Amino acid sequence: MPMTGTKISRSVCTLDCPDSCSVLLTRDQEGRYSLRGDGDHPFTAGFTCRKSRFFLERLQHPNRLKVPLLRQEKGWKAISWEDALDLCAKKIQDCRREPLSILHFHGEGAKGVLKQMSKLFFDSLGATRVRGSLCDAAGFVACVMDFGSRENHDIMDLLNAKAIVNWGRDLPKSSVHTSALVSRARKKGARVLTISPGGDGSHAFSDDRVRVRPGVDRFLAAAVIGLLWEKKGVSQDVLERATRHEPFRQLIFRESARDLLRRCHVDEEGARTILRYYTDFNPTATIIGTGLQRYAYGGENVRFINALAFLSGNIGLQGGGVYFHMHSLRNLNLHWARAVRGGPTRTFLMPTIGRDILQASDPPIRMIWVDGSNFINQAPNSSENVRAFESIDFKVVVDAFMTDTAMRADLVLPCALAFEQEDVEASYMHDYVQHVNKVLDPPEGARTDHWILRELGSLLDPPVHIPHVEDCLRRSIDAPFLNVTLEELREKGFVRAIRPSVAYKGMVFDHPDGKYRFPQALHEEPEAPEGFPYRLLTLIRGDAMHSQILEENQVIPPVVWVAPDHPGLPHLDLDEDVRLVSPLGSMRVKVEVMEGLHPEVILYRRGDWMKLGGGANRLIESGLTDIGRGAPFYHQRVRLENNRKVDDSMDGHF
């Protein structure tokens, strides 16, 4: 029967996205839902990004998993939740004598305090856990090393800037609301400079652009710092707010600005443009993209940009500051989610997860539990990840779709998604803590992560007890930066944490002595391996988050973009099959030309599935960034060719 009336419910986008939008879901008289941004939320301001257009379609998609699936010789068998949990409990009991033989891989497929529940559960067991990052660790550790913490100004303070330097962020694809703030700042008279290798959508938000060779931003920042010291001078008051500035100055002048710029493929006019933005239009705000920290020396890239902002006097004042990712849960109290481990601990790293599993001994990994992650697809060196995953005796994946990881599991448990469960969520860009309202019922057969773990814990001997949802939510908002009850948060939908609008006001930093720290090294850029001269940049999509893409929306073969003056372009026949090749293998792609790209770049929009013919991480070698234990995705060198000169036998196995 048709439903009468219209109903509007407020909830929150829980994607791993900095904007963390407050949204309104409207149910019409026919029972159909639509979604829009919350106009009452000061940051969301009534609009959302393109990613949100697929939310409801994804929730109601016919390929969504609705029953536990057990792998058998001839395929998948649907089983009951009772049988699925009994099997999981038996496998965990078998491993409890050596709990480190259980590996828990938790990702950020959805945000919220209840998503921390699985960490509590498996830490209580004493399981092996993962650390490091597939996202932003090199950059935020760089900020901690420099400033003593990873605080930002209130993002709305961009409106007080006289100039904004966007260092590498693809504004419309990574944060539509930051894009909107930058546009508003320009209307108020602020000038905007974008520094990147090209391929981003920030040209529409920029007054000036400087194209930099990928991966060498630290040399560009160092060159501009040298010009600042030589031509403008650095205030003694600023230098007194830092330690060891003289060794840093000597490091900067170890090479001439001209030599540093030559490495960056930036001319002196480009460097002077950057210098003007930091000295002539103050206050100047700096936005740092996550891409430039996804190199072997990604942390160093960020640290030299921070140093330029600091030395030019643009830290600790209204309209200035450096914007990178803050901790998304910093305004909440998660002490309840921290288990006291009685035995030894062991940690594997996300960027090298396949290698770590294969090398594990004493004990080896015999069981893995994966939630919030499609790590076979998303972590580097996918073929090694496959070998590692398949070497494990019992593999459980909690997911809503048959991803590249789920399809290799022994047991797949269907989970509830956004808008189908209550939670509390916060952002790594703005300071609003928000109530995630349960608007829809999950499909019959799907369960929340909390329900799964609570039921499973009760079957163990001894049992693992996890707190009730209500207790978790109440304890999470009982935090120093919040003054709200759960009832008030449910009613209001969101509340701003009590934080200062200016970070490091007066240049007082969060190190014990209150002073800034300079980097003490400037490392050379490694040479490209022979036969692989180009950088593979696997950039974010504008219409999907990571691999959360419906199959029908994936373009196969994937498109890659190159500059019109890309050196390899004249040697390719684009009417024939083109292969994207790395030392790890190759995959078929379609090549298109994009104006404005640096000629060293091959651009790929990441997230498509290996089983369909996508998945660029099969070509990216595993490794670690200089700091933060991050994944240096953009350090990978590749080439394009028509002929199959390397082993591409992987193509038939994904």
Q: What are 600-622's pLDDT values in tens digits?
A: 999 999 999 999 999 999 999 99
- Residues 6+ away with beta carbon under 8 Å from 128: 100, 101, 102, 103, 104, 346, 347, 348, 360, 365
- What whole-number distance in Å separates Cα of residue 466 and Cα of residue 468? 7
When pLDDT is averaged across residues 337-354 and rounded to a whole number, the result is: 90
Q: First CA to last CA across the chain, in angstroms?
A: 44
Instruction: Answer for the pair 284, 162: CB distance below 8 angstroms, yes or no.
Output: yes
How far, in Å, are 352, 487, 647 from residue 620 at the CA level? 11, 47, 15
Q: Between residues 2 and 207, which one has the greater pLDDT?
A: 207
Tokens 């933060």 -> residue: 628
pLDDT band, residue 342 (cuts 50/70/90): confident
Please say if the pLDDT value at position 644 is more than 90.
no
pLDDT of residue 109: 87
Class in CATH terms, 148-326+503-517 = alpha beta
pLDDT of residue 649: 39
pTM attached to this predicted model? 0.95
Tokens 């090294």 -> residue: 521
When pLDDT is averaged across residues 333-338 and rounded to a whole number, the result is: 93
Check the CA dihedral 168-171-175-179 and report its sign. positive
Q: Which secondary-structure segment (H or E) carries 84?
A: helix 81-95
> Would you list the DSSP string of 223-279?
HHHHHIIIII---HHHHTTEE-HHHHHHHHTTS-HHHHHHHHT--HHHHHHHHHHHH
Instruction: Determine if residue 596 is left, alpha or beta; phi over 0 gives left, psi from -120 to 50 gives alpha, anything else beta.
Output: left
pLDDT band, residue 5 (cuts 50/70/90): low
When pLDDT is averaged across residues 455-470 and rounded to a whole number, the result is: 97
Q: Give the dihedral of Cα atoms 257, 260, 265, 266; nearest 10 deg.
A: -30
pLDDT of residue 344: 83
The b-or-e profile of 123-152 (16+ CB within 10 A means b, else e) is bbbbbbbbebbbbbbbbbbbbbbbbbbbbb
Please say if the pLDDT value at position 648 is more than 70.
no
pLDDT of residue 651: 46
Instruction: Answer for the pair 18, 174: CB distance below 8 angstroms, yes or no.
Output: yes
The alpha carbon of residue 126 and the mean position of all alpha carbons in its chain are separated, in whole angstroms, by: 27
pLDDT of residue 55: 84
- What whole-number distance in Å separates Cα of residue 247 and Cα of residue 347? 36
The mean of the pLDDT values for the chain is 95
pLDDT band, residue 383 (cuts 50/70/90): very high
Domain boundaries 7-59, corresponding CATH code: 2.20.25
The correct answer on CATH 3.10.270.10 for the domain covering 69-134+329-426+432-496 is no
Residue type, 543: D
Instruction: Answer for the pair 34, 444: CB distance below 8 angstroms, yes or no.
Output: no
CATH architecture under which domain 534-653 falls:
Beta Barrel (2.40)
Spans of all domains in the chain: 7-59, 69-134+329-426+432-496, 148-326+503-517, 534-653
Q: Which secondary-structure segment (H or E) carries 163?
A: strand 163-167
Rg over alpha carbons for the chain, rounded to the nearest Å, is 25
pLDDT of residue 339: 83
When pLDDT is averaged across residues 93-120 and rounded to a whole number, the result is: 95
Backbone angles phi, psi at 122, to 5 degrees: -80, -25
Question: What length does the chain have?
Answer: 654
Please say if the pLDDT value at position 646 is more than 90.
no
pLDDT band, residue 650 (cuts 50/70/90): very low
Q: pLDDT digit string (tens) for 423-448?
A: 999 999 999 999 999 999 999 999 99
- What whole-number distance in Å separates Cα of residue 35 and Cα of residue 52? 8
Angle, vertex CA 9, rays to CA 3 and CA 15, nearest 5: 120
Backbone angles phi, psi at 570, to 5 degrees: -65, -15
Please say if the pLDDT value at position 18 is more than 70.
yes
Assigned token pair, 37: 């941004």
Q: pLDDT digit string (tens) for 487-512?
A: 999 999 999 999 999 999 999 999 99
